[in-house]
Structure 1
Amino acid sequence: MTGRSRWWLLSAIAALVMTAATVYGVGEWRRYQSLQAAPSSVDVATGPSLSGPRVIFRNTAVGDDYGRVAAVPLDDPGAPRAVSDLECDRVDATPERTVCLRTVRGVVTTFEATVYGADGTQESSWPLPGIPSRTRLSESSRLVATTAFVTGHSYVAVGFSTETVVTDTVAGTSANIQEFEFTVDGRRVTSPDRNMWGVTFAADDNTFFATAASGGQTWLVEGDLAARTLVAIKQGAECPSLSPDGSRLAYKKDLDPGADARWAIAVLDLATGVEVVLPGEQSIDDQAEWLDDGTVLYGLPRIDAVGDNDIWAVAADGSSDPVVFIERAMSPAVVREG
């Protein structure tokens, strides 16, 4: 291929990317406006922002507050929700910090991650390479993990690619975990189709768990930030979430690995290796959150309402069926203190 041909090819690719971004941005903006136009379908609290033990989430009830970060008391999830001015696609929080992944809608849509302090003051912000997917704060609030789609809109899309970065908010450094050494059964995986996403942190601010994929297979991996390594510990587990006591991982498990994926939440005991698949009828595409050591939360889209979701709760030992925990909400983050 000549230099001129390469130039024209790159120009054509750039034009296609720009067109796709424009179409996506316009479509998302119109859908977003329509969801904000209707009256709110939930009770909203008035007064100061909620503090104390609480569940923070993205409000998906139609109306002016659609897409904003909201909160309910930890011991009363059905109470009227306190809604902030912060708009996020994905959110996580600790008593000290909140991380927000958002879509900046416009003629050309962009994406960003922003970290806020306990008083709501913005501490830092940086661009994301694509559509926000997952985010987690470490227990200390020092580390922030972000996953964004570089190509494709979901994990079920053919040829999707993600970028997962761990940012140290104290040191001001970041690491793309796709660049870490990845091994399966002692064998290094170096193929260019490697993909990593869905981080959850251990309490030591060094160990983490995530998903790694290559060659059509996925693994639950244990990561070491200092050593820059990823070691596969189980096949077929995605989007892990570590329990508050650090003893178990909840993750997505495909119960039907054929053409039509059927995702359920499973819980792995790290000491015994025993896995329990939790009950539920609907396929789940979410990174779970632990309400406490005995209960797992996750989001599910409403079948009858595009863009609307509910947060469900299920016993971590599989002893009971899931129930709706918070209506018209997604991306739960449990703040147990503050």
Structure 2
Amino acid sequence: MDASPGDRILFRSTAATGYGRVGTVTRGAESGPRQLSPLDRVWVYAAAGRGICLRPDGPLATYQLAVLDPALRVRDTYPLAGVPNRARVSPSGNVLAWTVFVTGDSYTGGRFSTRAGMLDLATGETVDSLELFPVVRGAAPPHAVDVNLWGVTFADDQRFYATLSTGGKRYLIAGEIGARSARTLAENVECPSPSPDGTRIAFKEAIGGDPARGWRLSVLDLSTLRRRPLAETRSVDDQAAWYGNDTIMYGVRRGVRDSDVWAVPADGSGTPRLLVPDAESPAALWN
């Protein structure tokens, strides 16, 4: 089993045999033979030969973050206070990010809220909650009590993107880890994913600004902030990933447990195509 840089796609299997295990397939032959790791996990991602997985920690309803080497062996673990929701790795493999659902925040009325954190493996520095970062965001209050952050992803080891929610609205934020600060870029942008060339962001946007109506996959041009809806018209509740500079890949549910990875052109043309059957949580391992 190999998650080192190469011409492969990493994913979490949703097939009946090997459900929940991490696998890889060869780019260009994604529906062909797959290699599976023996470890089960809830979310997985990898870059530059280093992986992150969020997985159950024993028989109780607790979870942990596991740091993976290129062979997908667990090298270190950290407890998570919440239910895993998203995971990402910086392009260098040095910085890990995660999002979990938590309960108990007074403003939620007993519903779930989120916590997003980071771990720099090169320095050992940890950010337990990105909610502690000051965010400049137009007319929104500077320190609103209902702030939630999720879907953290990286441009590099210092610059990150994420979704911020407050006052019933969702924003794309761009942040600097060293400066411990962030700023809003656009409204109604969730679960961002930067393109390999760093010029665009793939994301899901709530239809009509209302998540109850579902989501539409789109791409945001970072130089103009213009957005382009993609040819995938199904509601996709996923943090998309880039197959290459011209193609987006993402998971589409077929029920509670079943999912497939699909792909669609990043310029809004073409039609969606099935990429990896019985899979979710894809990551391209080219870097």
Give the shorter-chain TM-score range. Answer: over 0.9
Matched, 1:300 2:252: yes
Q: Which segments of 5 or more consecutive residues in structure 1 lack a partner in the other structure?
A: 1-47
Q: 2:269 aligns with which of 315, 319, 330?
A: 319
C-alpha distance in structure 1 between counterparts of 2:191 and 2:211, whole Å? 20
| Aligned with 1:62 (options 16, 25, 38) | 16
Tell me how far 1:191 sits from its aligned partner.
1.4
Deviation per residue, 1:54-113 (Å, 9 max, x gap)? 1000000012x110000100121111111111211110012321111112352x211111
Quote the offset at 1:188 in angstroms. 5.2
Cα distance change of structure 1 residues 71 and 164 upon mapping to structure 2, 3 Å threshold: same
Matches within 5 A, 1:234-273: 234-258=186-210, 260-273=212-225
Question: In the TM superposition, what whole-angstrom CA distance separates every residue of 1:14-65 from its partner, at most 9, and x where no partner exists?
Answer: xxxxxxxxxxxxxxxxxxxxxxxxxxxxxxxxxx6576321000000012x1
Number of aligned pairs? 281
| Structure 1 residue 307, shift from structure 2 partner | 0.2
Equivalent-residue separation in structure 1 for 2:231 and 2:11 (angstroms): 23
Mapped to 1, the partners of 2:56 and 2:285 lie a distance apart of: 24
In structure 1, the residue corresponding to 2:209 is in which secondary structure?
coil
Distance 2:51 2:81 in 1: 20
RMSD: 2.0
Confirm or deny: 8 A CA contact 2:188 2:209 kept in the other structure: no
Q: More helix per residue: 1 or 2?
A: 1
Q: Deviations over 1:102-129 (max 9, x none)?
A: 12352x2111110111244432211111
User: What TM-score do you get using the length of structure 2 for normalisation?
Assistant: 0.92
Determine the structure 2 residue equivalent to 1:144: 96
Q: Evaluate the alpha carbon distance shift between residue 245 and residue 84 of structure 1 in structure 2; reply closer, same or farther with a 3 A threshold.
A: same
Tell which structure's C-alpha radius of gyration is larger.
Answer: 1
Is 1:291 the counterpart of 2:231? The answer is no
Looking at structure 1, the residues matched to 39 and 48 of structure 2 have their Cα atoms a distance apart, in angstroms, of 17
Equivalents in 2 of 1:271, 1:92: separation in Å? 27
Give, in whole Å, the separation in 1 of the partners of 2:211 and 2:226.
Answer: 27
Change (3 A) 1:334 1:258: closer
In structure 2, the partner of 1:114 is: 66
Is this contact kept in 2: 1:70–1:84, CA < 8 A? yes
1:329 is matched with 279
Q: Give the unaligned 5+ runs of structure 2.
A: none
Q: Which of 114, 128, 134 is the equivalent residue of 2:86?
A: 134
What's the counterpart of residue 46 of structure 2? 93
Q: Percent identity of the aligned residues?
A: 37
